[in-house]
Amino acid sequence: MSVITKIREENFPITYWILAALVLLGMAFGVTRLVLGLGATTNLSSGYPWGLWITFDVFTVPFSAGAFTLAAVLHVFNRKKYHAVAHLALLAGFLGYLLVVLVLLMDLGRWDHFYSVLMPWRWNLHSFMFEVSMSIAIYFGVLVLELVGVVFKGQDWLPVQFINRLIPLIAGTGVMLSCVHQGSLGALFLMLDQKLHPLWWTPILPVLFLTSALFSGLSVGIFLSILTWRALDKPVPMRLLSGLAKVVLVIQAIYLVLKIGDLLLAGEAGLVFGSGLLSVLFLAEIFIGVIMPLILFSSRARESERGLLLGVIYTLVGLAINRSSIAWFGLRAPAEATYFPHWMEFGIVIAAASFGILFFTLGIRYLPAIRKGVLEEGHH
Amino acid sequence: MIDKETHMTNTLTRREVLKLAGAGASALLLKVDSAHALDEVVADDAAAVLYDATRCVGCRACEEACKAWNKLPPDEEPPSDLTAHNYTLIKQHQEGADESFRKYQCMHCVHPACVSACPVQALTKSKDGPVMYDANKCIGCRYCMVACPFHVPRIDWSDPLPIIAKCTFCADRIMHGQIPACVEACPVEALTFGTREQILEEARSRIKQYPDRYIDHVYGETEAGGTSWMYISAVPFEQIGFPKLDSDPVPELSDDVAMYGTPSMLVGVAALLGGIYWATSRRNEGKQEE
């Protein structure tokens, strides 16, 4: 946060250098991982073939969903007044997906064979791993186009003009791909009905993943907007953000009904209190991630900067609890297996987060198109 | 952390609820006709093996033969679990007065979760029975390891570029009319090789002949939609480390969602977005004209 509050100063505060150092360190870990293999750099095992990195990916994809939800607001719903907010979410989404791709590469045991995914005759359409990776790859291309269109807007450069003419189509494709892969990410766990605890395993997992991605993405848009406008010493555009919070409220209500309704219908509501630590995780997600924001966003707190900020932070903490429960804590491992991430696994995730924060703030400093949108808000 | 018994029975209920009630929007969308998405690849004349736990004496000749045929490195100490260098393993299970050996290896499911999970078709189910692996295609995502209900696929974590390691069913032998190395090595005929039809018949006839010796169940006949390796035993199968599985193929639901859910989603979202865009652009035009 201190980084972002300093971005108006024309020097580089120490926090920049700390973040840059963490990123460099993480790159060194990454190279070590690729050269020495998973055994030397992770604590993964046959009991825990997936760990912290997959959890990071499963969290960062819906965290980056602001890019597509706000692209929909801007280009499909034609609410042009949201352009500055949408551009912040686009920048964050681009960085988020870039990091997902990089961390996913870390996780590929046979990374030297990654090109296998690019060979159509090998594609397995039944596999959600295929669907997710392909959809993310194409969507990343969409994000690059959208970002190029924004950053170079107004330049009479033919490709850019072309992109900006086609932007409703490009953005629409992105929204479509996102709806699919946000759900597919949940569908990855459909096959694990023997392993994923029934508090989380349900046939409607894809629907729950998509719904939570929708409200999380919008929440990230609100979150980054408040921080950025504050950092640039401009009044936060409360009317715009409260409007988004209203949408978050509706989707969170739907999510709550789906989640609780599904448990009740399956006759498994008893698990909510009878599953030890897992019950705590489940309840923590519901209370912190859904009930608290519902209270805040349905009251007058929605009209205040602090209320909004608190609400979206609760939402994102809830998202983190939910995705880590599904990708890590709620997955049953053989009795003798244990897993606590290796320090290099932590190192790479910390580096990824640092990379995101660093380049988001640098983006606001050095990408005039995005910065200008923020500064001009409220002047028209 | 998780209570295994309730965990399993509960997931079964969850599936049944879906089936019975057809509850929720996704059910309407996804539960079309489950028979279609899974390819029917395994005929009754595909290869199969019967392991008779009452005959096994735990000599581990099968393990040795497996290592020799697959050229796997020797172990410094006897393994307690399947590893990247141990495609098969005999374990002794004891629970109260019940004592039994059990052979572990890939079950070569009729509808393998790993094959469905693999993004690049590095794992395939052969019509002859074996679940085959092609390292040249594999990217090492390890979804197969996560998806396998029998916890079978392994990798050598110390290898910088590891391959997925599991029993091959000696595909390179049975294609040439030989029987798997472990079956050949067993001195007490605890392992029997044949077609799936023959093996089931043999298993049933042994149970019928000696009803006192066996539990009246062939594990693998229906579990997870059926497996190519099947088991008969004197002690309940849960006591020798078998998961309790219903007869639904593990990848069934996932396959249905992939084959029907995804396309419906794409078409649905496209139509919705198109409609909204059309409506909101018109509204904006209207505003401008005013």
Each residue of A19-54: pLDDT tens digit?
999 999 999 999 999 999 999 999 999 999 999 999
Query: Tokens 């190395």 label which residue?
Result: B181
Residue pair B259/B37 in contact by the 8 Å Cβ criterion: yes
Q: Which residues contact B156 (CB under 8 A, 6 or more apart)?
A: A39, B83, B84, B85, B162, B163, B165
**Which pLDDT band, with edges at 50, 70 and 90, does A13 fall under?**
confident
Q: How far is CA B219 from the centre of its chain?
A: 13
Least CB-CB distance to B243: which of A194, A206, A266? A194
**Which pLDDT band, with edges at 50, 70 and 90, does A8 fall under?**
low
Q: Which residues contact B181 (CB under 8 A, 6 or more apart)?
A: B62, B65, B66, B68, B69, B70, B170, B173
Which spans in chain B are helix H? 4-21, 24-30, 34-37, 61-70, 113-117, 143-147, 171-174, 181-185, 196-209, 252-256, 262-289
Across the interface, whether the CB atoms of A191 and B253 are under 8 A apart is answered: yes
pLDDT reported for residue B21:
43
Which phi and psi (to 5°) does residue B81 adopt? -155, 165
Task: Give the residue-averaged pLDDT of B86-99.
Answer: 93
Domains in chain A: boundaries: 2-376
Round to whole Å and give the CA distance between A268 and B70: 46
pLDDT reported for residue A225:
96
**What residues in A contact B135, CB-CB < 8 Å?**
110
* Binding-face residues of A in 210-249 toward B, CB within 8 A: none
Rounded to two decimals, the pTM is: 0.91
**Which pLDDT band, with edges at 50, 70 and 90, does A10 fall under?**
low
Task: Give the residue-averaged pLDDT of A138-148.
Answer: 96
**Which pLDDT band, with edges at 50, 70 and 90, does B223 fall under?**
very high
Longest dimension (CA), chain A: 64
**Residue B274 touches partner A, C-beta closer than 8 Å:** yes
Q: Is the pLDDT of residue B176 over 60?
A: yes
**Which pLDDT band, with edges at 50, 70 and 90, does A363 fall under?**
very high
Tokens encoding A224 = 């980054």
Task: Give the residue-averaged pLDDT of B56-60.
Answer: 96
Query: Degrees (nearest 5) of the Cα angle A108, A113, A117?
Result: 85
The DSSP element (H or E) to which A38 belongs, if any, is helix A38-41
**What residues in B contact A194, CB-CB < 8 Å?**
8, 11, 149, 243, 245, 250
Q: Is the pLDDT of residue B134 over 90?
A: yes
Residue whose C-alpha is closest to residue B142's, from A339, A147, A44? A44
Q: Which residues contact A218 (CB under 8 A, 6 or more apart)?
A: A66, A69, A70, A244, A247, A248, A251
Residue pair B80/B92 in contact by the 8 Å Cβ criterion: no
pLDDT reported for residue A4:
52
Residue pair B258/A126 in contact by the 8 Å Cβ criterion: yes
Alpha carbon of B212: minimum distance to chain A alpha carbons (Å): 32
State the ipTM, two decimals.
Answer: 0.93
Percentage with pLDDT > 90 across chain B? 78
Q: Is the pLDDT of residue A89 over 90?
A: yes
Least CB-CB distance to A117: which of B83, B113, B139? B139
CATH architecture of A2-376: Up-down Bundle (1.20)
- In 3-state terms, what secondary structure has residue B208? helix
**Which pLDDT band, with edges at 50, 70 and 90, does A379 fall under?**
low
Tell me the C-alpha to C-alpha distance, in Å, between residue A235 and each of A207, A232, A375, B124. 37, 9, 9, 59
Each residue of B5-41: pLDDT tens digit?
444 444 445 555 554 444 344 444 444 333 334 445 4
Percentage with pLDDT > 70 across chain A? 96
pLDDT reported for residue B42:
54
pLDDT reported for residue A155:
82
Round to whole Å and give the CA distance between A277 and A283: 10
pLDDT reported for residue B43:
64
pLDDT reported for residue B8:
42
Round to whole Å and give the CA distance between A318 and A331: 18
Across the interface, whether the CB atoms of B139 and A116 are under 8 A apart is answered: yes
Tokens encoding A177 = 């791909």
Task: Give the residue-averaged pLDDT of A349-368.
Answer: 95
* Binding-face residues of B in 239-268 toward A, CB within 8 A: 243, 245, 250-251, 253-255, 257-259, 261-262, 265-266
Round to whole Å and give the CA distance between A327 and A311: 24
Q: Identify the structural domains of chain B with CATH numbers, from first to last.
A: 34-263 (3.30.70.20)
Residue pair B228/B108 in contact by the 8 Å Cβ criterion: yes
Q: What letter represents residue A96's amino acid?
A: G
The DSSP element (H or E) to which B104 belongs, if any, is strand B98-104
Least CB-CB distance to B26: which of A79, A125, A207? A207
Q: Is the pLDDT of residue A303 over 80?
A: yes
Each residue of B251-269: pLDDT tens digit?
999 999 999 999 999 999 9
Is the Cα dihedral A145, A147, A151, A153 positive or negative? Answer: positive
Is the Cα dihedral A309, A315, A318, A323 positive or negative? Answer: negative
**Residue A193 touches partner B, C-beta closer than 8 Å:** yes
